[in-house]
Amino acid sequence: MRMAGTAERMAKNQKQVAISEFFEKNKHFLGFDSLTRSLITAVKEAVDNSLDACEEARILPEVRIQITKIDDKKNIVELKSEDNGPGIPQRSIEKVFGQLLFGSRFHAIRQSRGQQGIGITGVVMYSQLTTGRKTHVRSKIATEASAAIVDIGLDTRKNKATKSNETREIWELEDGSFKEHGLEITTRMKAKYQKGRQSVYQYLRMTSIVNPHADITFTDPEGQVHHWARVTERLPTKVESIKPHPHGIHLGTLQRMCSESTDSRMTVFLRNNFSGMSTRAAKELLQVAEISEKAKPKSLKPEQYRALLEAFQGERMLNNKPVKLLNPPTNCLSPIEELLIKKGLSKTIDSRFVTTMTRAPTVTQGNPYQVEVGLIFGEGMLADKPVEVLRFANRVPLMYQQGGCLLTKAIESVDWRQYGLDQAGGRGVPKGPAAILVHLASTNVQFTSEAKEALADNSEVMDETRKALLEMGRGLRKHLEKKKKMAKTQEKFELVNDIIPAIAQKSAEILGRPIPELSGSITKIMSAVIAESETLWNKETKQTDISITLFNYTSRARSYTLLASWPEREGATMENNNTGGRKEATGVWAWKLETLDPGQTYVIKFSLAGLEKGDWTDTDVFFRGSQDVIGATKMDEKLLEEIRRQEAAANGDEEEEAADEIPIEESKPLPAPEVPPPNGQQTLFGGGE
Amino acid sequence: MSRTHSNDETKIALHEVVAEMYDKIVKGEAPTMTLPVRTKTNIGFDEKLGVYKYGKKRSIRDATSLGSAKQLLRALHVVEFIEEMIDAGKSSTLREMYYISEAWGLGKFGSQNESNNLAEDLEVVTKCLREDFKLRPEEDGARMIGNLTLRERNRRGEWMRINARDDVGDSGYGVPYNVEEEKIELLEHDINFIMAIETGGMFDRLIENGFDEAYNCGLLHLKGQPARSTRRILKRMSEEWDLPVVVFLDGDPWSFRIFASIAYGAIKTAHISEYLATPSATYLGITADDIMAYDLPSDDLSPRDIEALKAELSDPRFADPWWQEQINMMLELGKKAEQQSLAKYGLDFVTDTYLPEKLADLGLA
């Protein structure tokens, strides 16, 4: 029942705009300007529709795209797209597929994929124009037993759909079961399938990165099947529609809103139709616009619209100050969020290091927006080529006009050299084995043109994007520094474990003398305490195994407390931690170690359960103690204090009753339990003692 | 005047290198190898020998970094390999040693260059020669033509008498890698001087034009930077026969270096300069002023050329006023010229005009 409700309600919300003729003349604006691009656009419209519909109906999407070559010489291909969305009620099919700029999204202020509903109708029209064929639609909604089947064509002059061969049929799946709900479109068009950076494959790959909740299958014209599996069961948060904010409104829109309004007076009109509008603000705006509070919106005169708009934009002021407006709510945005970007990137690009950053939502010109960035780095990508730039607006991949896009410009404006990537002159797209993802979520994405492939310049958005990139860059630098340090440590280990013993043995052999004792030389050469940590996914136990080894390569005894980060917040649990220790703060565990004599090592081992492969690949090790530890960071006590404070505050929010007690509890020094006599303790130099 | 060491002397010297490492480990320190600094900052003129030798600066290669520790381990493998060859009465080329090192595990060489350098290191430290180590170079020696007679002991151990004009073809007498007395004896000659020539093209031009007979000289093809055996035989002929040596090279910074290695000693082999260098050798051309005087077709100096010239200005071997003037002149001119640029005036110009004029300046023609 609920499913039908959703489908019907969605269909009802659609309004009509008649511009089918416009399409025929302007198909280049709409992404149908070349044979290659037309196919990508068609796939894009179908996939965007599917994902939007699933999201709205709260269904985990499964999308299948198949492209078949029909006539190679004439460049005719068939596109088949199938989803498991709510489906479209039979009587709404011709509306959804038959009219341009049809769709609730054109009028609602909300983050959505298409944003302007040229949508699937454009595909129907393009097919008809290039092959003369109708688009075959099969739709099944949950409340009906059979699926509706219909061929849709267009009368582009009357902006009306033409229906033919309408029938109903049971939708049986390959495995013999019946499809519960979903939509299938089959259409033939003049188009060309190509591989490369601008291809259907790349479009779907990018789509899967920012839609980790979707399961996407693509069968290319050669019959090869590409599958991007779902990596999270979590649907994007449901976005709320918001009313327009006065800062983002244009004169025409204002005029239309007024003339269509049935409100009896302006104060009510303003309060009902705009966000960020308090009663006080409404009164003040009308005052500076010199419009009566009791005026009827319908009967406003042209100069009054202009005055009101000027008041909105702060050009008419009250006591030399613009009328203060509240910011629009930001719950209308649905960011992908850091962890899911991580998962999305990791599933399509096989690499070791991913860092992500989601900025807090903010507002530009009355439109809420939010910037997210991600970076994946490592083997498997080309080191001497520019990094791959993955641009997205409202989870839709942007594939053309990379150079003219705000998001690219933001990347180019960062000096990536300081973060460890190559970049000639500190400007431009950096080089290195990496891919950079930038996602802008907004209720009103401003493009440079109707082609909707590049974001228009906006200094506030630019600034936010840059901030996100810089923060992410710091993460990369930290990673690279750590990697370098580890490589150095690794070298030292090779030196003392392999080379020095070999020198001792060979020189003794040549001279015919006994092999000398090595501990002195090794201590002298290393002259450091070294921590080595390893974080490995264990296939059998489905756990992440972590080991931290501390080596005392100095000539004196040392004592330390070692601390390690672990993903406690992400719901992991610590298993098999046979060396004990205690919780230092959320996500930080501590082990107080016994004195480590020269040449001794100590091994800490534990496993993390409740995580998936790739969730936790790097364990940060910290220490408390006077002598530096190579491979570990000195614990920043202030930072730890801050974590504890935040924790206390968070606990306070949840359990208001206990709020007072928490600080007292926290301030009590916890007794540090001694580590039991370590069985892992051993001497480095075999037979030395 | 042979500088070779007996097998026992060589072994003792090598063991000293090994003992330095071993003793350091016993003392609880990082193993080391001490060797002279082998750059131009550490070469000085030896008044007694008349050549440039390494000075007192020592560098210590210690096993505190992975790179140098591996070097030490490689040195040990090389020492062991040399001992094995000495005991078995065998020898090998440097290239063969590089391939043999494949079996040395952690001590294997990364490149042929590494193995060549290490062999040189050991020579410098032990004051032995690579002949003592039973290591042969890959490079073949030079070619020689002219009315001079020598004796070479062939593979069967028989002495062969060879006149480098009458008993050879157009390519001349091939100088073997070992030119010590046990292999080659200089018998007699009827020439007034020896001319060492950089390029094969010019060497062949002079032969074709009959220059050696017309001017009664011996011609020696250097093949670019001359091999040790080439420099050694030149020195022996110069000393044993008391003959003047003139050097005819391209006119560029790299030729200046070739000349320095012939006349004063090469930086890389400064430990055996007195054995390889011919202090009496004279630079005939092409000089910087030849480029102007003969209006020779020339090329612009590349940034690397300029860098090389500037480095030469501070090289002690080029400290004399004539060289300083030549180097500065070339820098000012910004040009360099090849030997063969003389062909601008025809194929015979070099033998009919250029060389006679240059030799006349030296009183040799």
Per-residue b or e along A116-137, where b marks 16 or more CB atoms closer than 10 Å to that residue's CB: bbbbbbbbbbbbbbbbebbbbb
DSSP-based three-state secondary structure for A383: coil
Nearest to B80 among A506, A523, A525 (CB): A506
Q: What is the pLDDT of residues A193-234, one digit of tens each?
A: 998 888 999 999 999 988 989 999 999 999 999 999 888 888
B87 to A45, B7, B75: CA distances (angstroms): 82, 9, 18
Contact across the interface for A494 and B30, Cβ inside 8 Å: no
- In this prediction, residue A7 carries a pLDDT of 57
Contact across the interface for A503 and B31, Cβ inside 8 Å: yes
Q: What secondary structure does DSSP assign to A55-69, as a single string?
A: HHTT---EEEEEEEE
User: Is B64's Cβ below 8 Å from some Cβ in A?
Assistant: yes
Distance of alpha carbon B273 from alpha carbon B275, whole angstroms:
5
Contact across the interface for B26 and A516, Cβ inside 8 Å: yes
CATH class of the region A246-312 = mainly alpha
* Confidence grade of residue A21 (pLDDT, cut at 50, 70, 90): low
Q: What is the pLDDT of residues A34-74, one digit of tens each?
A: 899 999 999 998 998 899 889 889 999 999 999 999 998 99
Contact across the interface for A499 and B66, Cβ inside 8 Å: yes
Annotation says B52 is catalytic: no
Q: Which residue of chain B comes nearest to A505, CA vs CA? A: B22
The structure's pTM equals 0.64
Neighbour-count burial of A671, counting CB atoms closer than 10 A to its CB (0-12 exposed, 13-18 middle, 19+ buried): exposed
Tell me the chain B residues in contact with residue A504 when contact means C-beta distances shorter than 8 Å: 22, 25, 31
Nearest to B77 among A495, A506, A517 (CB): A506
User: Is B104's Cβ below 8 Å from some Cβ in A?
Assistant: no
Nearest to A521 among B25, B73, B105 (CB): B25
The CA distance from B64 to the nearest CA of chain A, in Å, is 5
Q: Which residue of chain B comes nearest to A504, CA vs CA? A: B22
The CA distance from A487 to the nearest CA of chain B, in Å, is 12
Domain boundaries, chain A: 19-228, 246-312, 354-477, 518-689
**Short-list B250, B198, B242, B188, CA closest to B219:** B198
Mean pLDDT, rounded, for A156-162: 73
The CA distance from B69 to the nearest CA of chain A, in Å, is 7
Give A354-477's CATH code, choosing from 3.30.230.10, 3.40.50.300, 3.40.710.10, 3.40.1410.10. 3.30.230.10
Cis-peptide, bond into residue B286, ω within 30° of zero: yes
Contact across the interface for A509 and B107, Cβ inside 8 Å: no
User: Is B76's Cβ below 8 Å from some Cβ in A?
Assistant: yes
A518-689: CATH topology is Immunoglobulin-like (2.60.40)
Tell me the chain B residues in contact with residue A498 when contact means C-beta distances shorter than 8 Å: 106
Q: What is the pLDDT of residues A427-444, one digit of tens each?
A: 889 998 888 999 998 888
Contact across the interface for B76 and A507, Cβ inside 8 Å: yes
- In this prediction, residue B296 carries a pLDDT of 92
Output DSSP code: residue B273: H
The CA distance from B14 to the nearest CA of chain A, in Å, is 10
Q: What is the mean pLDDT of chain A?
A: 82
Catalytic residue among B99, B177, B294, B354: B99
Distance of alpha carbon A611 from alpha carbon A616, whole angstroms:
8
The CA distance from A372 to the nearest CA of chain B, in Å, is 42
User: Is B80's Cβ below 8 Å from some Cβ in A?
Assistant: yes
Beta bridge partners of B195: B219, B246
- In this prediction, residue A272 carries a pLDDT of 86
A666 to A645, A650, A663: CA distances (angstroms): 9, 13, 5
Q: Which residue of chain A comes nearest to B23, CA vs CA? A: A516
Q: What is the pLDDT of residues A381-408, one digit of tens each?
A: 777 889 989 999 988 889 888 888 999 9
Contact between A205 and A217 under an 8 Å Cβ cutoff? The reply is: no
- In this prediction, residue A187 carries a pLDDT of 95
User: Is B70's Cβ below 8 Å from some Cβ in A?
Assistant: yes
Nearest to B18 among A494, A510, A520 (CB): A510
Contact across the interface for A511 and B76, Cβ inside 8 Å: no
Half-sphere exposure of A652 (CA within 13 A, CB side): 14
Distance of alpha carbon B100 from alpha carbon B108, whole angstroms:
9
More confident residue, B146 or A426: B146
Nearest to B76 among A495, A510, A525 (CB): A510
Q: Which amino acid is at A27?
A: K
Nearest to A511 among B15, B28, B63 (CB): B15
A415 to A359, A412, A426: CA distances (angstroms): 20, 8, 5
- In this prediction, residue B20 carries a pLDDT of 94
User: Is B106's Cβ below 8 Å from some Cβ in A?
Assistant: yes
Tell me the chain A residues in contact with residue B16 when contact means C-beta distances shorter than 8 Å: none
Interface probe with A: pick from B10, B16, B17, B22, most Cβ of A within 10 Å: B22
Q: Which residues of chain B have pLDDT under 70?
A: 1-4, 139-140
Q: What is the pLDDT of residues A275-299, one digit of tens each?
A: 888 888 899 998 988 988 888 888 8
Q: What is the pLDDT of residues A297-316, one digit of tens each?
A: 888 888 888 888 888 888 88
Looking at A177-186, A561-570, B325-334, which range is the least confident one? Answer: A561-570
Contact between A3 and A84 under an 8 Å Cβ cutoff? The reply is: no
- In this prediction, residue A11 carries a pLDDT of 53
Contact across the interface for A499 and B21, Cβ inside 8 Å: no
Nearest to A513 among B22, B64, B72 (CB): B22
Q: What is the pLDDT of residues A620-653, one digit of tens each?
A: 899 998 888 888 888 888 888 887 887 777 665 5
CATH class of the region A19-228 = alpha beta
Handedness of CA A197, A200, A201, A207 (dihedral sign): positive
Contact across the interface for B65 and A516, Cβ inside 8 Å: no
Locus of tokens 């019946």: A178
More confident residue, A349 or A281: A281
- In this prediction, residue A103 carries a pLDDT of 42
Interface probe with B: pick from A500, A507, A523, A554, most Cβ of B within 10 Å: A507
Which is it for strands A62-71 and A76-83: parallel, antiparallel or unpaired?
antiparallel
The CA distance from A557 to the nearest CA of chain B, in Å, is 18
Q: Which residue of chain A comes nearest to B106, CA vs CA? A: A499
Tell me the chain A residues in contact with residue B26 when contact means C-beta distances shorter than 8 Å: 516-517
Contact across the interface for A499 and B22, Cβ inside 8 Å: no
Report H helices in A425-556. 459-494, 500-511, 519-526
Mean pLDDT, rounded, for A79-88: 94
**Short-list B83, B25, B16, CA closest to A514:** B25
Tell me the chain A residues in contact with residue B80 when contact means C-beta distances shorter than 8 Å: 506, 509-510
* Chain A residues interacting with chain B (CB cutoff of 8 angstroms): 491-492, 494-495, 498-500, 502-504, 506-511, 513, 516-521, 523-525
